[in-house]
Amino acid sequence: MTNIKLQLKSKLDDRTAVIGIIGLGYVGLPLAICYSNIGYKVVGFDIDNSKIDSINEGKTYIKHIPSSELIKLKENGFEGTTDFSSISEIDAIIICVPTPLNKYREPDLSFVTGTIDSFAPYLRQGQIVSLESTTYPGTTEEELLPRIEAKGFTVGEDIYLVYSPEREDPGNAKYTTRTIPKVCGGHTSNCSEIGQALYGQAIDTVVSVSSTKVAEFTKILENIHRAVNIGLVNEMKIVADKMDVDIHEVIEAAATKPFGFTPYYPGPGLGGHCIPIDPFYLTWKAREYGINTRFIELAGEINTAMPMWVVSKVAEALNIQQKAISGSKILVLGISYKKNIDDMRESPSVELMQLLQDRGAIVEYSDPHVPSFPKMRKYTFELSSIEISAENLKAYDCVLIATDHDAFDYEMIQENSSIVVDTRGRYQKGTSNVVKA
């Protein structure tokens, strides 16, 4: 074991290493808290100074992470900065920045490459760099490795490089950053060993794989698995609807089989930072090898088309009242991408709002987790959440359940709404004034 490797491993093992988290969002902030809680010095980097200010003030900006955790983080000595020059003082650099798609649905690695270019001048011997952002297989070797080597380092000897995909599930009370097993692949065996030392202290189970590419592929497979199965059940929902069958009752019955079946549930489309995006990363990369990923792309087409199908069901519901979408007042319930959180990334609820507004509807929303509509890249709504009351509900021509937060009183909603379009299976088939979508 080289002296450089031994020194870094020792610092990671005895928790004297300084951990640098780049990107303090839904992935980076929980990771910073996790490391800080077990005694590491943590430095957070983010180009959004408001996040650093919020931590310093002990005010959360992610609803499922309580302010008390941020107060504790600050008390533990957390430092936040937008200045990458302090990277030279960091022992472990963990990158948790967005990897969206561009307008052509191709990978946009600008956040990753921009981050590397910003901190590369401050790299030194005896550091480990870990990429956690979801991306296509080969990114670590093709984008990070050459940038680090261009600074004169030998990766695996005097600096270490790993890929360890994030597996955060916002709002999941059963699994935490610490208890979710962590996959980690190194560029070399030395890199893998240091990666194990980095994550082994903070995560209960670290799953080592043979390379960064295997780790990258693992994350892509996890999300494609979900995307394809959700696409399947969304297609089944459309078929069941035509046959006047409640797909949720079917799924509930099928799930009683103790083997060979895993329940997936339909919805108004895919949301979140992974499932709507990650399959396109692999389909894009596969073209480089002359492979057409038809199965994945078909699932993507089905899931992408779901908001339009829901709009058609809204039109059907309004037709029952001899009304058109144009001019109707429609209340969308739930605009985060899944229930009980405030995360709106790629939320199909917002796509539904835009589609309905484009067709002339007067659209408003109610979401206890999103009091005011935030700034988004693709959408602009100057709206605040409407309080759900019997009187307010009666003012709308249609109530659309897009995200089924537990905070909603579904019995009261159904009793006081002219008509309800249910995309989440909250009502049994045959319920009066409810249209299943």
Task: Find out whether 132 and 164 touch, Cβ atoms under 8 Å.
Answer: yes
Q: Kindly list the distances between the CA atom of residue 425 and the CA atoms of 192, 198, 353, 397, 402, in Å, as whole numbers in the listed order.
A: 45, 43, 19, 20, 10
Question: Could you give the angle at the alpha carbon of 29 between the alpha carbons of 26 and 30, nearest 5°?
Answer: 85
Reference 318, options 222, 418, 177; nearest CA is 418
Q: Which residues contact 48 (CB under 8 A, 6 or more apart)?
A: 24
**CA 210 to chain centroid:** 26
Q: In what order do the strands lie in the sheet with 159-163?
A: 79-81, 41-45, 18-22, 92-95, 127-131, 159-163, 182-186, 206-209
C-beta separation of 220 from 137 below 8 A? yes
Q: Is 184 in the active site?
A: no
Q: Strand ranges (DSSP E) for 49-96?
A: 79-81, 92-95
The CA distance from 62 to 10, in Å, is: 34
* Helix or strand (DSSP H, E) at 270: none
Compute CA 301 distance to the chain's CA centroid, rounded to the nearest angstrom. Answer: 20
Instruction: From residue 378, give the alpha-carbon distance in Å to each of 2, 103, 135, 188, 197.
Output: 50, 10, 22, 40, 41
Among residues 96, 184, 274, 398, which one is catalytic? 274
Token pair for residue 355? 């589609």
Give the closest residue to 99 by CA, choosing from 6, 165, 184, 10.
165
For residue 25, give both structure tokens. Answer: 């969002």
Q: Which residues are catalytic?
A: 274
